């Protein structure tokens, strides 16, 4: 059988070999589904037959490296399917052979996987390739959740598209324990990712022990959370948030990652994002103002100064970190270094004149050159965020392009290696759906489809320069990620999409195929204990129209899976009506809906209820941003309680304004608002002028209500109290004058400065006569 285009045979394999095995997908009478492997292999040829794998199947491995991978496969299989085959040197029974062959070509991460009725084998030239072959074999063994394991006969020749397949973990904002970092590594390995970028330092915390400079963790690894979260509810005393890794723990993590063929790249961010370090050693700063690690988020003005003693300190820290991280790359940051303090510092200006530097950008380039040369002297290679391109870049430095792909394109054309990590497609702390059930996160939305659709090689990059694209990386900043459950929610399933972008040939990527393979991957997540987000697999509702008689609602699933619904109070099943067009429902109305694939729900059904009273209330998630005024809308969490669940608010930190679009105002005599108040914990640097608010007209400001949008007539106003009630909320009732009618956009906004605390809307109710 020719292998000229084996990927086209995936559907044939699903229909013939897996008929009746992959439950609910490929059957004799149903459309064939692609073999659910993620990421998609480079080449796959289906063969005839199956191989039965059970607890007595021997795992044949001769050398130490082969035995190591075979044992890892057995452990993963036990976690996935409850059986743990034995690793043996030889056996008369048909088994699975793990074999290293120095003559195997295709690169150190490539492998050949062959399955036949008489057994299976994985062949690779390096232990990394052997491990990735074992991961693919594990996926073949988990095509179904139960029943005998039947591996389809096939031949896979596979190798990754890119050598850098990365994920960035940020413990500086919220700290992750060693065991949690290991769980991240486990998940990365199961997706064939090979680079963990560990963001160890920032304004909010210094997270790694430096023995020569102990105050970095003594003073730099603890901060007081904002607001009520800083107070111990039992004692009323300050409750600091702390965490750092000892050097022994770093070695433990790095060694664990290496066992999973993952390189850990540390980041020491220079010259900005330096508040925690300067708080520990004030002589490193560019001003005399005292600092402490902060619980605010955003872009800070605090930069390391440029004196020789400070540069020597930075080199000293790097020198102590280098033995902990045997990988080739060391990340030196370079991003968001606001130069205001340097411009105002006589010492920095004198240093620039001494060095003959034209401006502060050249000064940062000098620092980058200094540290890059230091790293090169010690056998390492510097990589930094794309701002390091703003000045002359050292010849050997690599660039991580985050502000888009333009920096990566520029760097590649200049001969620098590049990792693509653009904020527009690969920042996983951005919300992944428009669901009100998304946890706190950054503004805007980066969907799974956006991640999957990202192409790391920029269009127009000359073929002779394309080898400079080392690969791709997803970043997850953790300002708003307070728990490990939320971290996993943000990571999955979008990390599966990244894995296919990073590994699979470009021509093999197909979103429709990926979405057909994804439900089986969710089964694996459940077996592996990975807490993936359910929001992409739930159903969302849009209230399109309403009247006293009924509502018209539209249903959607973020990934486009089939929707089934019921309106009789029962949970929808595969036999329930399929949603095809907006539904007109008489009041009172009840509706349940779920997304289905192959006859099974992908997540628990969501339920809604509408009646005359509920239509008069909107939550903050249901309100719009004010048209023409919105600038930076965030999903923010309340500051208390110290532990457990907190209220979540959608708000615009640049302009505190909410809009009820096309509100039905006939008979409405007042607007009742449940409002909360949270700390304003943002540093905006040069974006500060964009923050706007309406001046207060009384001691504590007002809640103003405008009809016809924010530029319309003010129809109600009520003074704000000095503080909310004991539960953190206050009920405000604003009588409307004059009487309003018809449908109008109601704008609600709070007057007065948003610092140090800002009022936020929790829900709005229209009161009728």
* CA 650/CA 479 separation, integer angstroms: 16
pLDDT, mean of residues 303-313: 98
Task: Classify residue 153 by burial, with Cβ atoms within 10 Å: 0-12, 13-18, 19+.
Answer: buried
Helices (H), 270-427: 275-280, 308-321, 340-344, 346-355, 360-377, 406-413, 423-426
Diameter of the chain measured on Cα atoms: 91
Q: E-assigned strands of 117-254?
A: 119-124, 149-158, 164-169, 195-199, 201-202, 205-206, 222-223, 241-242
Residue with tokens 């990754």: 160
The percent of the chain in helix, strand and coil, each rounded to the nearest 5, is 30, 30, 40
* CA 764/CA 658 separation, integer angstroms: 10
The contacts of residue 149 (CB under 8 Å, 6+ apart) are 52, 53, 54, 81, 83, 141
Residue 631: the pLDDT is: 76
Give pLDDT tens digits for 249-275: 999 999 999 999 999 999 999 999 999
Q: How many CA atoms lie within 13 A of 441 on its CB side?
A: 23
The contacts of residue 397 (CB under 8 Å, 6+ apart) are 368, 372, 381, 382, 383, 384, 388, 416
Give pLDDT tens digits for 566-618: 999 999 999 999 999 999 999 999 999 999 999 999 999 999 999 999 999 99
The contacts of residue 618 (CB under 8 Å, 6+ apart) are 660, 763, 764
Task: Name beta bridge partners: 238.
Answer: 231
* CA 340/CA 285 separation, integer angstroms: 13
Full set of structural domains in the chain with CATH: 6-158 (3.30.379.10), 164-509 (3.20.20.80), 538-612 (2.60.40), 617-768 (2.60.120.260)
The contacts of residue 744 (CB under 8 Å, 6+ apart) are 662, 663, 665, 707, 708, 712
- CB of 68 closer than 8 Å to CB of 170: no
Residue 20: the pLDDT is: 34
What percent of the chain clears pLDDT 70, i.e. is strictly above it?
96
Instruction: Indicate whether 3 pLDDT > 80.
Output: no
Give pLDDT tens digits for 365-419: 999 999 999 999 999 999 999 999 998 899 999 999 999 999 999 999 999 999 9
Residue 473: the pLDDT is: 98
Give pLDDT tens digits for 657-705: 999 999 999 999 999 999 999 999 999 999 888 888 899 999 999 999 9
**From 152-166, 220-234, 459-473, 558-572, the region with the lowest mean pLDDT:** 220-234
Q: What average pLDDT is seen over the chain?
A: 93
Active-site residue, from 45, 252, 296, 336: 336
Give pLDDT tens digits for 712-744: 999 999 999 999 999 899 999 999 977 789 999
Give this prediction's pTM.
0.94
Give the pLDDT band of residue 444 (cuts 50, 70, 90): confident
Q: How far is CA 23 from CA 36, 623, 697, in A?
A: 12, 42, 66
Give pLDDT tens digits for 166-188: 999 999 999 999 999 999 999 99
Residue 448: the pLDDT is: 98
- CB of 544 closer than 8 Å to CB of 553: yes
Cα-based angle 333, 338, 341 (whole degrees, multiple of 5): 120
DSSP 8-state class, residue 146 = S
Instruction: Indicate whether 17 pLDDT > 60.
Output: no
* CA 592/CA 681 separation, integer angstroms: 39
Give pLDDT tens digits for 331-349: 999 999 999 999 999 999 9
* CA 685/CA 335 separation, integer angstroms: 13
Residue 603: the pLDDT is: 98
* CA 294/CA 222 separation, integer angstroms: 9
Is residue 336 annotated as part of the catalytic site, yes or no?
Answer: yes
- CB of 485 closer than 8 Å to CB of 470: no
Q: 145 or 243: which carries more pLDDT confidence? A: 243
Instruction: Give the chain's end-to-end CA distance (angstroms, integer).
Output: 79
- CB of 476 closer than 8 Å to CB of 428: yes
- CB of 465 closer than 8 Å to CB of 435: no
Instruction: Indicate whether 563 pLDDT > 50.
Output: yes
- CB of 413 closer than 8 Å to CB of 465: yes
Give pLDDT tens digits for 100-159: 999 998 999 999 999 999 999 999 999 999 999 999 999 999 998 888 999 999 999 999
DSSP 8-state class, residue 105 = -
Residue 234: the pLDDT is: 86
Residue 25: the pLDDT is: 33
Burial 633-651 (b: 16+ CB within 10 A, else e): bbbbbbbbebeeebbbbbb
Q: How far is CA 280 from CA 203, 240, 340, in A?
A: 11, 16, 21
Residue 731: the pLDDT is: 97
Q: 553 or 625: which carries more pLDDT confidence? A: 553
The contacts of residue 99 (CB under 8 Å, 6+ apart) are 62, 66, 121, 122, 123, 124, 130
Give pLDDT tens digits for 473-507: 999 999 999 999 999 999 999 999 999 999 999 99
Residue 630: the pLDDT is: 62
- CB of 541 closer than 8 Å to CB of 605: no
Q: Beta-carbon neighbour count of residue 218 at 10 Å?
A: 13
């Amino acid at each position: 059988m020719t292998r000229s285009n084996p990927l086209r045979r995936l559907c044939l394999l699903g229909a013939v070999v897996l008929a009746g095995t992959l439950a609910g997908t490929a059957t004799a009478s149903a459309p064939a589904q692609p073999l659910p492997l993620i990421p998609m292999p480079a080449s796959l040829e289906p063969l005839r037959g199956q191989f039965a794998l059970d607890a007595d199947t021997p795992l044949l491995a001769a050398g130490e490296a082969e035995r190591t991978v075979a044992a890892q496969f057995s452990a993963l299989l036990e976690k996935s399917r409850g059986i743990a085959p034995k690793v043996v040197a030889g056996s008369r029974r048909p088994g699975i052979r793990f074999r290293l062959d120095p003559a195997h070509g295709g690169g150190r991460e490539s492998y050949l996987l062959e399955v036949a009725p008489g057994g299976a084998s994985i062949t690779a030239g390096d232990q990394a390739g052997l491990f990735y072959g074992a991961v693919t074999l594990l996926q073949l063994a988990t095509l179904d959740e139960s029943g005998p394991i039947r591996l389809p006969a096939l031949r896979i020749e596979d190798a990754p598209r890119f050598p850098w397949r990365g994920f960035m973990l940020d413990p500086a904002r919220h700290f992750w324990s060693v065991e949690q970092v290991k769980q991240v590594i486990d998940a990365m390995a199961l997706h064939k990712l090979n680079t963990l970028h560990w963001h160890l330092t920032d304004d909010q915390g210094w997270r790694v022990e430096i023995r020569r400079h102990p105050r970095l963790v003594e003073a730099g690894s603890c901060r007081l959370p904002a607001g009520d979260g800083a107070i111990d509810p039992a004692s009323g005393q300050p409750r600091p948030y702390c965490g750092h890794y000892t050097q022994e723990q770093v070695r433990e993590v790095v060694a664990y990652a290496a066992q999973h063929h993952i390189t850990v790249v540390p980041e020491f961010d220079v010259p900005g994002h330096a508040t925690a370090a300067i708080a520990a050693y004030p002589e490193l700063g560019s001003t005399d103002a005292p600092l402490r690690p902060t619980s605010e988020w955003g872009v800070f003005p605090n930069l390391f100064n440029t004196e020789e003693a400070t540069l020597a300190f930075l080199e000293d820290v790097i020198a102590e970190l280098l033995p902990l991280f045997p990988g080739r790359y060391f990340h030196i940051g370079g991003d968001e270094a606001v130069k205001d303090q340097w411009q105002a510092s006589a010492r920095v200006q004198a240093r620039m004149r001494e060095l003959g530097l034209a401006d502060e950008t050249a000064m940062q380039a000098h620092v980058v050159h200094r540290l890059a040369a230091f790293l090169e002297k010690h056998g390492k290679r510097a990589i930094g965020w794309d701002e390091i391109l703003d000045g002359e870049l050292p010849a050997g430095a690599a660039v991580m392009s985050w502000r888009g792909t333009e920096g990566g394109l520029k760097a590649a054309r200049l001969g620098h290696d590049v990792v693509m990590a653009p904020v527009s497609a690969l920042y996983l702390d951005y919300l992944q759906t428009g669901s009100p059930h998304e946890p706190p996160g950054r503004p805007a939305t980066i969907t799974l489809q956006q991640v999957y659709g990202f192409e790391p090689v920029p269009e127009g990059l000359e073929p002779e320069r394309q080898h400079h694209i080392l690969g791709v990386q997803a970043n997850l900043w953790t300002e708003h990620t307070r728990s490990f459950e939320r971290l996993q929610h943000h990571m999955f399933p979008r990390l599966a999409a990244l894995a296919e972008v990073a590994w699979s040939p470009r021509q093999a990527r197909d979103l429709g195929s990926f979405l057909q393979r994804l439900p089986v991957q969710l089964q694996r997540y459940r077996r592996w204990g990975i807490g993936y987000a359910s929001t992409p697999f739930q159903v969302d509702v849009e209230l399109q129209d309403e009247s006293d008689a009924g509502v018209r609602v539209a249903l959607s699933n973020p990934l486009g899976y089939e929707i089934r619904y019921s309106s009789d109070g029962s949970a929808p099943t595969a036999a329930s009506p399929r949603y095809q067009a907006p539904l007109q429902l008489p009041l009172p109305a009840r509706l349940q809906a779920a997304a289905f694939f192959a006859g099974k729900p992908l997540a628990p059904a969501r339920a809604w209820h509408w009646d005359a009273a509920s239509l008069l209330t909107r939550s903050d998630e249901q309100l719009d941003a004010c048209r023409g005024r919105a600038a930076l809308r965030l999903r923010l969490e309340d500051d208390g309680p110290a532990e457990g669940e907190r209220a979540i608010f959608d708000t615009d930190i640049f302009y505190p304004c909410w809009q009820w679009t096309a509100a039905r105002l006939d008979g409405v005599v007042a607007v009742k608002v449940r409002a909360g108040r949270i700390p304003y914990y943002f540093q905006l640097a040069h974006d500060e002028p964009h923050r706007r608010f309406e001046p207060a007209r009384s001691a504590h400001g007002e809640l103003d209500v405008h009809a016809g949008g924010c530029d319309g007539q003010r129809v109600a106003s009520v003074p704000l109290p000095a503080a909310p009630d004991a539960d953190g909320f206050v009920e405000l009732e604003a009588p409307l004058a004059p009487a309003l009618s018809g449908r109008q956009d109601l704008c609600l906004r709070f007057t007065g400065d948003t610092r140090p605390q800002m009022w936020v809307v929790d829900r709005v109710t229209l009161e009728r006569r």
